[in-house]
Amino acid sequence: MGQANGRKSIFITGAASGMGLETARLFAGKGWFVGGYDVNEAGLKALESEIGAENCIVSRLDVTDKKAFDATVADFGKATGGKMDILFNNAGIGAGGLFEQMAFEDNLRVVQVNFIGVLNGIHAALPLLKATENALCFTTSSSSATYGMPGIAVYSATKHAVKGLTEALSIEFRLIGVRAADVLPGLIDTPILPEGAAANAPKEGMFRAIPPVEVAKVVWEAYGSDKLHWYVPPELVELDKAAGNTPELVREQLASTGPIAALIKVKEENKKA
C-alpha cells in the first residue's frame, strides 16, 4: 500500500474502468495520490500495476455497504494523513427497459448503487474532506438528470437525485469549507453502455459518443473552479435549460423519437384496429 507523503489525494469509486479509470490515470500522471475502488478486483490490480503501487491504494468496495465504505475511507485516511482533496463518487450501474416490464429488484439495485452508494460515500468521507483545505465533493450525475428519460426511468431518477443532492450540499457545505459539484455526462463510451451503443451513436451533436477521458479532464478542471454543474459535452446545458423552461415540449419530443415512440405508435394503431 502506497503513502501520499504530502501529495494531494483523490478517492475514486468505479475506478477499474471507464471514467473512473481515466480519472485515476490523469491524476496519477499529475502527481496525485490515488485511492481506487471498485467491485472489479482484476481491473484494480491492473490500475495499481499501471500507475505504481507507491502512488495509490486500491481495494474492493461495494458502495452499497456502508460499513465497508467507512472502513475503506479509514484506510485511505491512514495513507493520506487524514486528508482527502477530492471525493469522486463515480460508481454506477445501468438497467434499461420499460418500468412495467423490469424486475423490481433490478430497479432497487440501481437505486442502491447510484444513489445510496453516493450517500454512503459522502457521509463516510466528510471528516477527511472537512480536514482538507479546498476539498471537493464531486459526483457523477448524468445527462438523464436534465429530463426523465424513458427506457431508463429509475436510472434517470437516481441521477436527478444526485443532482439535487449536489445543489443542496454545495450550499450546506459552505459551513464546513467543502465544495460540492457534479458532472452530467452524455453518451460516454464505457462498459455501462449496451453493446454497440457507442458505434451506433450520432457522429455529431450532444448525444455523440464521448471518450471517458473527457470526463476525467472535467474532474481535474473542477478542482480549481467553483462551477456547480459540468456538462460533457457542454451542449447538454441546452437540454437542461429546455427541460426547465418547456418540460411539456421536451416530453413530446422524447415521445415522438426513438424506440419508445415506435412502441407508442404500435399501441395507438392497435387501438384503431
- Determine which one of 147, 155, 223, 231 is catalytic: 155
Burial class (CB in 10 A: 0-12, 13-18, 19+), 81: middle
Provide the 3-class DSSP secondary structure of residue 34: strand
- Which grid coordinates are listed for 150? 424513458
pLDDT exceeds cutoff 80 at 265 = no
> Is 155 annotated in the active site?
yes
pLDDT exceeds cutoff 90 at 266 = no
| Least confident window among 10-24, 38-52, 86-100, 193-207 | 193-207
Could you read off the pLDDT of 155-207 as tens digits, one per residue? Answer: 999 999 999 999 999 999 999 999 999 999 998 877 665 655 555 556 666 66
- What local confidence, expressed as pLDDT, does residue 73 receive? 98
State if pTM tops 0.85: yes
Distance of alpha carbon 18 from its chain centroid, rounded? Answer: 11
Report, as an integer, the average pLDDT of 72-90: 98
Which amino acid, residue 261?
A
Could you read off the pLDDT of 34-77 as tens digits, one per residue? Answer: 999 999 999 999 999 999 999 999 999 999 999 999 999 999 99
- What local confidence, expressed as pLDDT, does residue 108 receive? 97
Helix (H) or strand (E) holding 83: none
Which amino acid, residue 5?
N
Average pLDDT over all residues of the chain: 92
- With cell 473552479, the residue in question is 225
**Percent of the chain residues topping a pLDDT of 90:** 79
- With cell 447538454, the residue in question is 236
In this structure, are residues 29 and 6 in contact, taking their beta carbons and an 8 Å threshold?
A: no
Name beta bridge partners: 88.
12, 138
**What fold characterizes domain 9-245?**
Rossmann fold (3.40.50)
Name beta bridge partners: 59.
37
- Which grid coordinates are listed for 265? 405508435
In this structure, are residues 159 and 145 in contact, taking their beta carbons and an 8 Å threshold?
A: yes
- What local confidence, expressed as pLDDT, does residue 205 receive? 62
